[in-house]
A and B are shown apart, each in its own frame.
Chain A
């Protein structure tokens, strides 16, 4: 029982295979890799199993508790699950058979094709439309999800856009600069609305995970590459991030910088995670976490960069900085943060070392500033219509 409960997600195969022999081989390799973790986690696992609540499957109401102590299949919402890290995480979780993944994506057809392309089993996922560049769409997604009748056990705020070469800002449907509007404000509203659903969940380990990025942390080398992130006094955000008669940058700077806007939005994500932890962890028992899975140089996040960058960046990261991580590995790491019983500590910014072991990383001074987090929270509430 302890062993079963502690199982880690399966190692991702690079090519989807439906052969049972391959599956068996995968399980064997998996067991040997995870043996150490199983031993370390066994005590807490045993304790946790004893508190299991009544079981329900996605889409069906809670049944009467029977003698078995089986944890039901969990439901996780992953934003931006149609490519890159989000897709790899969705695949990793779905493959275990223990999770039903709601892929919240703005391009429905792309998501459907990606899930099929990744070999995800039909019953293991549901695609729902979500466009974080529109607050109306966020609200419609929440209504639609609630009507689907599934519990909500984990939420992964993964979606992001990055416009490194943009000279002028673009804006969301609600008039906010796109990077901060999508990466922070859309997720802020989504997380706040779905927190209710997570509180009602009977799942033993509920988690809200917001993707961070090392480049938002100015206590690292990567974070010191210009342009550096800096929220200043949040003047631009308070003015609504509108280009006309105001700044499109959070710090109120007059000149727009697409790369800095992205980094700023990531600081917002990490500040938001910590503020959620301070306000809600003790009260709700929900775990709030952020993570940096490594530099996934092959994803579509860089699609708007110049071709030369996209050509040189993967080998640079692989051989020079050695920060490169494959999409499959990063998906596995994110899936760990979603489901690993040893990673239930709240308020943590998780990272991984070269041996693929997780550790609690330190955030920069600005990204740890509780006053700034509180101010960000209050301004964001106003901007998304929650205050």
Chain B
């Protein structure tokens, strides 16, 4: 039991992607034992306490246990935690796919891959070796509020509970000279990265509330570049929401600016601004709903995953030089697998249930609570962002 309980502290180590490969259980177990040992050494008392309370939580929840798409059965003598359901946006590549794989591999999660390219997502899941029963692809295009609403209806019809929502999808147009727009007329970066996710999270919050899962979480992926209290955040162009003038004007480029602060269009800045919005939104969710619902709200920066498709629109020279630059100069590079493992930790690790936190990892891959910048911590700005966003997505 102790070993089993300790197991839940860490997601499975990601194996290299091989079809039909057999995991070396000896070394795998060795890794777990070492990790367990480390935990005991550094936080013996804390760990023991956590284990006890976790067990109590699990016991209290057992009566209402059900598996995905099966209605709750009468409680049996077993105290088995049911399989959790996690919705992950942008799960067809990069961080989202690595996270989906990490969670699915544990056997404890069913992943809903919310993607705009259904075929790409289906192929990616197969190529990653995900078990067919561990995931469901459902269409979601965050560039259309209609599509978000349809997704919510479709996901509810699956008759699975929703226990975790991961807002991971993002577009980044660093070299764009002209803005592009969503179906609803918003500038694309903010429309997809922030507004689409804002509507999605608001709609699915009621599903999280009605879930019987012991640890419900809403996770919004952040980015260090949105934080001007870091070196990366000071590389021009710097993020800045100003007084949200452009956002209030609808970001449609007709009679108003496409940038949140009302300035001239800059694709890289639009992305960074959208990430500040993500982090402000996470904190506003925490302030408004954590105490009332018990849902954990968190954001994270997994590290610079220089190999993902996020940079597909950048010039080839950048895509060639950026990974080694991050690996050897800034040392901020992290593999997709490691990043996915970290995000999966935030989804499922019992020690990361604190709400309102912006998680980061150090060089030894240990998680810590990172500080947000002054603007990204501004409560009044978060409230204003929330209210304007409500109007824009049709919730007010």
Interchain Cβ contacts within 8 Å, total number = 64
Docked pose: A173 CA to B147 CA in angstroms: 22
| Beta-carbon contact of B150 and A128 below 8 Å | yes
* A140 near B119: Cβ-Cβ < 8 Å: no
Please determine whether B141 and A108 come into contact, CB atoms closer than 8 angstroms. yes
Contact with B along A360-375 (1 / 0, CB 8 A): 0000000000000000
Closest to A175 in B: B126
Interface string of B101-135 (1 = CB under 8 A from A): 00000000000000011110011000000000000
**A140 & B139 in contact (Cβ 8 Å cutoff):** yes
Residues of A near B183 (CB, < 8 A) are 108-109, 112-113
B122 touches A109 (CB 8 A): no
Query: Does any Cβ of A come within 8 Å of B157's Cβ?
Result: yes
**Complex: chain B residue closest to A112, CB-CB:** B183
Chain A residue contacts of B154, Cβ below 8 A: 140, 143-144
Known: A109-B144, A136-B137, A143-B157. A129 touches B122 (CB 8 A): no
Contact A144 to B153, CB < 8 A, known contacts A112-B146, A113-B183: yes
Chain B interface size range: 20 to 34
Are A108 and B144 closer than 8 Å at their CB atoms?
yes
Residues 189 to 226 of chain A near chain B (Cβ within 8 Å): none
Q: Does B280 contact A (CB under 8 A)?
A: no
B229 within 8 A of A: no
**Closest CB in chain A relative to B365 CB, distance in Å:** 35
A75 at interface, CB cutoff 8 A: no
Tell me the complex Cα distance, A133–B183, Å.
24
Contact check, A137 vs B123: say whether CB atoms are below 8 A apart. Answer: no
Does any Cβ of A come within 8 Å of B138's Cβ? yes
B127 to chain A, nearest CB (A): 12
| CB closest chain-A residue, reference B145 | A112
CA distance in complex: A109, B118 (Å): 14
- B353 CB–A CB distance under 8 Å: no
B144-A131 in contact (CB<8A): no
Question: Beyond A109-B144, A129-B139, is A136–B153 a contact (Cβ under 8 Å)?
Answer: no
Given contacts A129-B147, A147-B153, A147-B157, whether A108 and B122 have CB atoms under 8 Å apart is no
* Given A108-B147, A140-B138: A133 touches B157 (CB 8 Å cut-off): no
Q: Contact partner of B118 among A112, A113, A134, A144, CB < 8 A?
A: A134
- A-B residue pairs in contact (CB < 8 Å), sample of 13: A106-B117, A106-B119, A108-B116, A109-B143, A127-B144, A133-B118, A133-B119, A134-B137, A137-B139, A140-B139, A144-B150, A144-B153, A173-B118
Other than the given A106-B119, A140-B139, A173-B118, 18 more pairs (CB < 8 A) read A106-B117, A108-B143, A109-B183, A112-B146, A128-B150, A129-B118, A129-B141, A129-B147, A129-B150, A131-B139, A133-B119, A134-B118, A134-B122, A134-B137, A137-B118, A137-B139, A147-B157, A172-B119
Q: Which residues of A contact B (CB under 8 A)?
A: 106-109, 112-113, 127-129, 131, 133-134, 136-137, 140, 143-144, 147, 172-173
State the B residues within 8 Å of A (CB).
Answer: 116-119, 122-123, 137-139, 141, 143-144, 146-147, 150, 153-154, 157, 182-183
Q: Which 6 A-B pairs have the closest CB atoms?
A: A112-B183, A173-B122, A129-B139, A108-B141, A131-B118, A109-B143
